[in-house]
Amino acid sequence: RGGYESASKHFNPADVEVDVAGRSFLVTGANSGIGKATAKEIARRGGTVHLVCRNKERAEVAKEEIVTETGNQNIFLHIVDISNPKEIWKFAEKFQNEHKLNVLINNAGCMVNIRELTEDGLEKNFATNTLGTYIMTTALVPLLEKAADARVITVSSGGMLVQKLNISDFQSGNGPFDGTMVYAQNKRQQVVLTEQWAKAHRNIHFSVMHPGWADTPAVRLSMPDFYERMKNSLRTEAQGADTVLWLAVSPEATKLPSGLFFQDRQPVPTHLPLAYTHSPPEDEEKLMEVLEEFSQKFKSVSPR
């Protein structure tokens, strides 16, 4: 929280005091934490918000809260499990036919501390954080390509700084399983994805960010020891969401190059000094190839 408080002294409040009526935003994992805080702030500014959530009951409560607090009726709910690639394809294909989209916010994520497989045989963290983010984004790129001032923001984590891209074990099947490190690897993968997408799609502004450590249900659940130690110094959900909101609505954000990693409204390095976390370009290309293969495999079986 201290980091946020000192950084925020340099923020220009006008950057996020914008009317986004008529613009459409999709937020994954929007029923709690940073996702919900972001959706609420966008709704306050008049945006049309599509909440993509896994749990119908919790999602309906979140939607009701956002509508009540902001007075914005243009809040839509979609129930999708981001760890299920077939469901994402099905959702994206339907969404493209029915809606427009200016900004995609990839916020859904998980940190599962024991190795767990989805019904498709995918390791759960990888399925949600990496493959789910990949499919949601690539499936919606054609819709974003048609939009004015299109943006994609992915919520990563500073934890990725401790990981070098590992292309030999995407499913974390080798050796002992450490959920925190698997999550950090997925977050490194999201940074690489963002850099690759920025090169491939020049008319969409891509960014990835570290929200700082915030007091969210996900942190309490997946990192209970960390939470107990740090709870008095964690950021609020709104502070964690501040840079997401800034990247989503501020005209200032898109003046910076596409593909950067942000913290507290500033681009920051994606590697620590002297860290051996840089990857050769062929490893980054391999990541894209593998994800595209997975993606197509699940697309071919999606019901038309």
- Could you give the angle at the alpha carbon of 70 between the alpha carbons of 69 and 75, nearest 5°? 105
Q: List pLDDT tens digits, range 11-63.
A: 999 999 999 999 999 999 999 999 999 999 999 999 999 999 999 999 999 99
Q: For residue 303, what pLDDT band results from cuts at 50, 70 and 90?
A: low
Looking up tokens 């916020």, which residue turns up?
107
pLDDT (0 to 100) of residue 302: 47
pLDDT tens readout for residues 220-235? 887 788 878 888 888 9
Question: Residue 67 class from Cβ within 10 Å (0-12 exposed, 13-18 middle, 19+ buried)?
Answer: middle
> Which segments of 71-174 does DSSP mark as H helices, in order?
85-98, 124-125, 133-145
pTM: 0.95
Q: Is the pLDDT at 198 greater than 90, yes or no?
A: yes
What is the side-by-side strand order in the sheet with 48-53? Answer: 75-79, 48-53, 24-28, 103-106, 150-155, 204-209, 260-263, 266-267
**Which residues lie below 8 Å from residue 289, measured CB to CB, with a gap of 6+?**
none
Lowest mean pLDDT of 62-66, 131-135, 157-161, 223-227, name the range. 223-227
117 pairs with which residues across the strands?
123
* Gap between the Cα atoms of 144 and 152, Å rounded: 9
On the question of pLDDT at 301 being above 60, the answer is no
Domain ranges of the chain: 1-9+20-298
Fold that domain 1-9+20-298 belongs to in CATH: Rossmann fold (3.40.50)
Q: Which residues are catalytic?
A: 183
Please provide residue 87's backbone torsions phi and psi, each rounded to the nearest 5 degrees.
-65, -40
